[in-house]
Each structure stands twice: as structure tokens, then as C-alpha cells.
A and B are shown apart, each in its own frame.
Chain A
Amino acid sequence: MSPPVKLIGSFGSPLVHRAEVALRLKGVAYEFIHEDLENKSELLLKHNPIYKKVPVLLHGDRTVCESLIIVEYVDEAFEGPPLLPSDPYDCAAARFWANFMDQKCRKPFWLSLWMEGEVQKGFMMETKENLALLEAQLGGKRFFGGDSIGYLDIALSGLAHWIGVLEEVTGVILVGDEYPALRRWANEYTSDEAVKQCLPSRDHLAAYFTANKDKLKMMAIAMLHQ
């Protein structure tokens, strides 16, 4: 029998969602250990001493950190429908665009939502360029992975669900009508049965973001100066 699987995570984190959805898509049973990030547990600090962040996957006595590394691990360690494409070139493309999301998109998205004036305009331009590239990548496909959800859909899941909630809370639209493929994809992704089971509710997320508006604005300002 396979060793038990546990996932250390926190409510509302899009990175934790990546790990959870990978487990659910592969049909892997797991125990979710809820972490209070304001008061980090011994378990988290022991298993992720370098970054002290969630998600952390515990598989028997193995520990895997970093959301996308966890997704690849889950794909390789367990049976079930493949998350990464079988063709090496498609694999490379998926990894490239996942890196693009994390390294190029995250900051402009965040600052477009929380900044104002000329600063916001600059990041909005960058955001729109990034979204246009993703729109082109999706093209007419149901998912970035093709007919079924794959690694890149999972990597971009923040765009499918969290961005929409943030748009409501801030009143700033990022993924407008000029991105019909991305909007359709976001609906498809968030309607998937396996995805729905590990997606934090829009209401809960909206309440959290609204209650923490000042803190999130401060985070954006800090990000601006990094």
C-alpha cells in the first residue's frame, strides 16, 4: 500500500490549490493539514526550513516543497491521468509558460490591481501584453493542456479564479472582453468537478481580500520597491 499523503496548506492560497488539484486529478487520497501562517507550526518549519511556506507535500517520509515541483512530483509518483504532456516539446512549452506566469505576470497583475495613477497604467500595459500572450497560447483549445486539465492549467489557475475575485474587490478589470479564450477557459477550469472540490469559495476570498485591503496595498507597495 502506498505511504500516506499529507498536504500542509492554508486557506485561499492559489499555490496550495495547485498542489491540491494535482492530487485530486490523479485521484490520490490525502490529509489536508491547515497551517496558520501567522503562527507557523513546528511541522512546517521542520519540513520547509528554507522558505517556511506552503504548500508542503508529505508522502511517507518524503517532503516536497514548491507548488510546481509538487505538481510534477504528484504526476510522476502516482498513477492516474498524466498532468504533463508526453511530448518533450509540449512539456518544455508548458514549463516555459508556467515560469512566465510566476516570474513575469505575478508582479504586474498584482500592481495593476492595487496601484493607482501613472504607476498603475504602466503595469496595466504590461499585464495586457502578458494576457495577450496567454490568450494566444490557449487559442481554440478547451484547456492549455488540450482536452483535459494539465500542468499549465494548474500553474495558471490563479488567473482562472483568484484574479476574478480581486477584480471585484478592487474594481479593476484585468481579464476583459478582449480575452474571450481566457474568459471561457476560466469558466471551464473552475467548473471542473475535481477543481471545484479544492477551490476556495468566491465569497470567502472576497471577504478576506476586502477585510485586508490595507495590508494588500502595503504588500503591493513593497513589491514595487523590490
Chain B
Amino acid sequence: MSNSSFDHHITVFSPQGHLYQMEYALKAATSGNNTAVAVRGNNTAAFITQKKVPDRLIDASYLTSIYKITDTIGCLMIGLQPDIRTQINRVRREAAEFRFDNGYPMPVHVLAKKIADLNQVHSQEASQRTLACMCLMIGVDDEKASQVFKIDPAGTFLPYKAVATGKSEQDAMNFLEKKVNEFENMDEENTIEMAISTMQHILSTDFKPTEIEIGVVTLGKRFRVLNNEEVEERLNSIQTKAEE
């Protein structure tokens, strides 16, 4: 803990070398009650999160954590909803401008780096606060097939074979680490099922298709969010395999 409150006001280093505002922003981003998991398979990638409707009076069809950025890139954002909205606006704009300026779709790793760099600026310039949102970005392109990136408020971004973030991040990562060798050969359906199994493991309850949201992208196909029937199919498939 810092002994000088000066550190807490703007983005300066504490005597111990911490950037406290970044740490607080990270806390704000993962303070919600949900967890998100993303998994990369063979030429495919999928992510999953819980869908919680806080109130019966809210129209649930408007709530989502999954956002399509381009035909081949999708983002799952958790954190403060208003910050997420602004961040998504930026991500979409960057991707669209790239496509317009360069004539070809923005590769995922370039977009991830761009967003991470934008986040980093806020940690160095005092003019604007950091946006409290964690981004899991999945995409396919012809350079590197499928990729999964996690971008945090401080501007760190890393490619992953599988990653989790949010409340049960540690549990999920432990689960995924044990299975990491299976990922390379997984096709679309198996990738989705791996993501669902991770979720089932962390939550240790059964869930209905309406309580989760899944997004998937595969080489040759567009990014899409699974509808209830497709989720149901995958849940049944996991059930059948477990019984064998």
C-alpha cells in the first residue's frame, strides 16, 4: 500500500513502483459477478460468458457482453457497461478505418495491439481515466488462422491458447491448463464444448441455454453468436459424451 495519497489521484508511480490507478481500474473491470472464458482450437476460436439479467423489467434481448467487430473478429467484454460501450465503439472504428485505408480486413493481432496501445495512453497521460473493461478478442485471418487475445485496462495484451477472466479466473485457468494439449486438434464443436465444460466446472451447476452466451469464429465462416438451439445441441452433446 502506498503511503502517499498523491499516487492515487493521477497516473504516477508510487515509491514502490506501482501504478495504483491501473490496479484500481483492473479491480473495477473484474469486480462484476461473471467470468468469461475463451478457447482456441484448430482454425477456430470460441468464447463464453454468463448472461445475467439483473431485473425482470429489463428487456433481456438488449443485454449482451459479446460484440461483433468485423466478419472475422468478435469481442467479449466484461467490466463497467458504459466503459465497454465506448471501448467497443473505438474497436469497431479502428477495424473499419483499417479496412478502408488498407483495403483488406484488419488482422486480429494488429487490432489487439492497437487497442492495447490506446489503453496504455490513458495510463501515461492524465487527461482521461482508463476504461474499466477486460477484452477477450477472438478472430481468424489468413496470416495466423485463429487467435485469442486478452487485452486489459493497463494496455497489456497477450495471445493465448485459452484464457479466462473475471470472478473465477484462477479456477478456470487451472482447469484449462490441465487440458491444454487437447486444444490443437479441436474442431469448432469441440472448442465450443471445451469452453462450456470450463464454465460448468467453475460454476458447478447446470445451466440453461438462456443463461450463457457463446460466440465462435472459424476459418472460412463468419463470427457469430450461437442461438439457443445451437447451445442446446452442444450441451446435449457434452451430456452424451459424459455418459459414455
Asked if chains A and B come from one complex, the reply is no
